Amino acid sequence: MKPKVLVLGAGMVGSAMAIDLMSRCDVTSSDISESALSFLKNNYGINTLLFDVTDKDRLLQVVRNYDLVVCAVPGFLGYRTVETIIEAGINLVDISFMPEDTLQLNEKAIKYNVTAIVDCGVAPGIPNLIVGYHNTLMQVDNFQYMVGGLPKVRTFPFEYKAPFSPIDVIEEYTRPARFLQNSQIIVKPPMSDAELIDFQNVGTLEAFNTDGLRSLVYTLKNIPNISEKTLRYPGHIKLIQVLKASGFFDKTPIKVNGVDVVPVDVTNKILFKSWKLEAEEVDFTVMRMTVQGIEDGVKKEIVYDLYDEYDPITKISSMARTTGYTATAAVNMFLDGKFNEKGIFPPELVGKHHNCFDYMMKYLEDRNVIYRKTIRNI
């Protein structure tokens, strides 16, 4: 009998995960959008369930019918949804980019005998997995990664398309950026320390601070320096700074013609259309991860580079592939009995198990998501 898996969220990434899992699992995809569910049901024969995850009692009732849940809801719903799944006693893999610290749910997950692998997308996700792995092999003194998902055709004005809900992207631009410097947590404004970086297959991109380290500022305390930056086409940051400085990201209601309006909600609605990645629109994901430290008495630098594009055969976007397949790799790893510890586990706590690291990287390689590794002595 196939394991029963529920995917919460049928957006671009949620759909890719459901499709990837259907060959092995009895998959049900759920969402509040009938059209998104109809696409999966009509084109792939995937079971669908229309319901709202904010209805806690209903969520508790639903998830108990499954062996495992994949959580792909918007970030602002993530923490509460993950907490409810844990309270139902169901194992889960999560990719929601929530502002809260999921490590706070560790004791609850242990209490309910749940394995919860969180932040398991492309980034956060793979960088965590990689640094967790190398942290067992060497004395790491510096880890940095840069990542971006972009449309191949640059379209005025933003030259950007969002594979996720725009509100989650706005969070990247407004949430203070944390990183580790000399073993101290440093906080800087989002979009600070901008620099231009050249990438093969892409050209010059703009890198700037965002709060992508997540659990890494707490879990790998032996590494003194850890940082992360987001990548966009040059000039994008100025456009975002104009919107931010003008109040378009404000969460405090203002009155418009006697009606209370939350500016960021309006911005989210407007940007949803402008940032929507259209069907069969070619996008790419670029990422560079750099690990520096001492291994066997030798100072080394290990670099992983990713360049991935939209797949014209499956018609799945690059960001959906790189994010979704990381999560489904974790799902299959769990179902194969490779990882069964109880509690909250960001990927760096999974990657320290070499069999888990090898499993997930091979899973991605089998789907042509390839991280190219180079090593040099420094």
Q: Walk me through the domains of the chain, giving residue ranges and CATH numbers.
A: 4-122+319-369 (3.40.50.720), 126-309 (3.30.360.10)
Strands 203-209, 115-117: parallel, antiparallel or unpaired by DSSP?
unpaired
Q: What pTM did the predictor assign?
A: 0.93
For residues 102 and 348, is the Cβ–Cβ distance under 8 A? no
Angle 287-162-356 from CA coordinates, rounded to 5°: 45
Q: What is the DSSP letter of 321?
A: H
Please choose, from the candidates 294, 364, 290, 336, the residue with its C-alpha nearest in 3D space to the C-alpha of residue 130. 290
For residues 161 and 276, is the Cβ–Cβ distance under 8 A? yes
What whole-number distance in Å separates Cα of residue 140 and Cα of residue 216? 13
Q: What is the mean pLDDT of each run of 10 residues along the chain (378 residues)?
A: 96 95 97 93 96 95 97 92 98 92 96 98 96 97 96 93 78 90 95 94 95 91 96 95 94 93 92 85 96 96 97 94 97 97 98 98 98 96
What whole-number distance in Å separates Cα of residue 305 and Cα of residue 231? 14
pLDDT at residue 162, rounded to an integer:
79
Query: Where in 24-86 does DSSP place strands (E)?
Result: 26-31, 47-50, 68-71
pLDDT at residue 311, rounded to an integer:
95
Cβ density class 25-55: b for 16+ within 10 Å, e for less: bbbbbbbeeeebbebbeeeeebbbeeeebee
Query: Where in the chain does DSSP place strands (E)?
Result: 4-8, 26-31, 47-50, 68-71, 91-94, 115-117, 139-151, 177-181, 184-188, 195-199, 203-209, 225-232, 254-256, 259-261, 283-295, 298-309, 343-345, 371-377
Please report, for residues 98, 203, 217, the alpha-carbon distance to residue 331 in angstroms, rounded to integers and kept in the order given.
Answer: 20, 35, 25
What whole-number distance in Å separates Cα of residue 185 and Cα of residue 32? 39
pLDDT at residue 163, rounded to an integer:
66
